[in-house]
Amino acid sequence: MEEILRIEGGHYLDGEVKISGAKNATVALIPAAILANGPVAIVGVPQIADVDNLAAILNELNVMVTKVADDHLIIDPTNMVNRTLDSAAVTKLRASYYFMGALLGKYGYVKMKMPGGCYLGPRPIDLHLKGFEALGAKVVYDKGCYTISAEKLKGNKIFLDIASVGATINIMMAAVYADGRTIIENAAKEPEIIDVATLLNKMGASVKGAGTNVITIDGRDHLMGCFHEIIPDRIEAGTFIIMAAAMAKKVVVKNIIPAHLEALLSKLEEMGVKMDVDVDSVTIYQSDDLKAVDIKTLPYPGFATDLQAPLTTLLTKCQGESEVRETIYPERFKHCLELQRMGANIEVGNGEATIKGPCKLYGDSVSATDLRCGASLVVAGLMADGTTDIHDIYHIERGYAGIDVKLSALGANIKRVVVE
Ligand code: EPU
C-alpha cells in the first residue's frame, strides 16, 4: 500500500496562497537552538517531514520540544545529553549534518552517522570537516560514523573552496563558543544563512557579515534562549509562482520576500509572464504565449538550483528552445526522465538540459525521485491532459507543507489516494 498524489490536469488556479517558513532555514535553526542554555521559541515552522525527523533527533538528545501551535515550537536544551546520533532519523535528511556543528560547538564532541537526504549526485561534506579541523577539531570516520572532537575549539581563518551553504552554517555554529575570532572567507550568501546568524545573535552570539562573503564570529562563553520568526520559504514561493505562471487565472502568492526571488522573477518576466510584485506578495495573471529562456543555476543571488526542476516543467510550455545549465549539481536532472514520460521534448547531457517547446504534457504514472523533482511533477500534473499519479511522495512531504491542501484551495484537482 502506498499513498500517492493524483492530479487531474487542466484546472486553472485562482485565489491566494500563503507561503510557509523556509525549510532550509528551519532545518538549521532547529539544531542551532541546542547551542542556547535556555528555551528557544521558533515561529513560522513549516509542517514538513524534515522537521519531524529533527524533532526525533532532539528527543534522542533529551532536548524538550513543545509544539505550542502548528507552526510554533519551543526547544529547551536545558537537560540535554550528548548521545551518539545513529538512528534512522539521521539518515532521512541531509540537514542532520547541522548537529555536527551544533554539538561540536557546544560540547567539543559529536559522534554521528553519515547524513542522508536527496540524491542529487555526489554531495561531499569535506568543506564542513575542513572547517571543523581548522578550528582545532580531530575528525575520525569509521564504519559510516563520524567522531569529531576537540579539547577547546580555537577561532581561525577559513577559506571555503566552494561557497557551500551547509559548510558556512556548520562552521558558524561550531565557532560561537570557540576561543577568539573565526573568519569564514568565500562564505555562502543565501538568505537562510542570515536567518541562522540572526538566531545566533539573538542568543547572544557575535556573528557579523552574514549575507556577504566574509563572516566573522567572535566566540562567547554563554548563549541564552530567545524568540525567532523564520523567513518565508523562497523555494516554496518560487514553486507556487511557477505553478501560477503555468496555470493561473489570477493567483496571489503571499508572505514572500520578493528580493529573495529576483533571479526567478526576472526570468519569468523574460518569458512573458504577467505579474505585479508588491512588498510581500506577487500576483500572477493568466499568461499565454510564453517564450523560451536560458537558465544557469548559481549560488545566491543567482538562479537557485532548487527551482531548476519546477522551472524546467514550465519551459515545456514555452515557444522555442530553452537551455538549462546546472552548475551546482550537474547530475540534478532525474525529473527530466519523468517529464519525458509525460511527453516533454527534453534532451539531457553534460550538466545541461535542452527543452523544445511548446509541447503538450499527458498524465502518466511518475515517481518523485527527490524533493524538487517531486515539485516539478506537481507542476507537470497541473499542466497535463488527463490524470497524473505521483509516487514516492515522501520526498515532497520533506519540503512542501500541505502542498495538496494549498493547491486544492486554489482550485486544482489534486488528492491523496492510497494504491496497492
Ligand atoms: N560541496 C562540496 N563539499 C562540501 C560541501 C559542498 O564539494 O563540503 C559542493 C556540493 O557538492 C555542491 C556545492 O558544493 O556542488 C554546493 O553545495 P552546498 O553545500 O551549498 O549545498 P548544501 O548545503 O548541501 C543546501 C540546500 C540544498 C540546495 C543547496 C544549494 C539545505 C538543507 N540544503 O544544500 O537544498 O540545493 O544548498 O543551494 O539547506 C533542497 O532544498 O531541495 C536542497 C537540496
Which residues have any ligand 1 atom within 6 Å of their CB? 24, 27, 94-95, 118, 123-128, 162, 164-167, 188, 235, 305-306, 328-329, 371-372, 399
Ligand 1 geometric centre to CA of 202 (Å): 26
Q: Report which protein residue has its CA nearest ligand 1's atom 25.
A: 165
Task: For cell 561550531, name the residue.
Answer: 174
Model confidence over 45-72: pLDDT tens digits?
999 999 999 999 999 999 999 999 999 9
Nearest CA to ligand 1 atom 14: 164
CA distance linking residue 187 with residue 198, whole number of Å: 16
Please identify, by atom number, the ligand 1 atom nearest to the C-alpha of residue 192.
Answer: 39
- In degrees and rounded to multiples of 5, residue 287 shows phi and psi of -130, 115
Q: Is 118 a catalytic residue?
A: yes
Question: Using an 8 Å Cβ cutoff, are 326 and 305 in contact?
Answer: yes
3-class DSSP state for residue 167?
Answer: helix
In tens, the pLDDT along 25-52 reads 999 999 999 999 999 999 999 999 999 9
Predicted local confidence at residue 92, as pLDDT: 87
d(CA 253, CA 257): 11
Task: Find, among 1, 14, 20, 2, the residue nearest to 402 by Cα.
Answer: 20
| Smallest CA separation from ligand 1 atom 23, residue | 166
| pLDDT at residue number 114 | 83
> Rounded to the nearest whole angstrom, what is the distance from the C-alpha of residue 95 to the centroid of ligand 1?
10
Q: Which residues of the chain have pLDDT under 50?
A: none
pLDDT at position 118, please? 67
Residue 377 alpha carbon to ligand 1 centre in Å: 22
How far away, in angstroms, is 165 Cα from ligand 1 center? Answer: 6
Q: How many Cβ atoms from other residues are within 10 Å of residue 236's Cβ? A: 27
pLDDT at 129: 97
- Give the position, in ligand 1's atom list, of the atom nearest the Cα of 23: 41
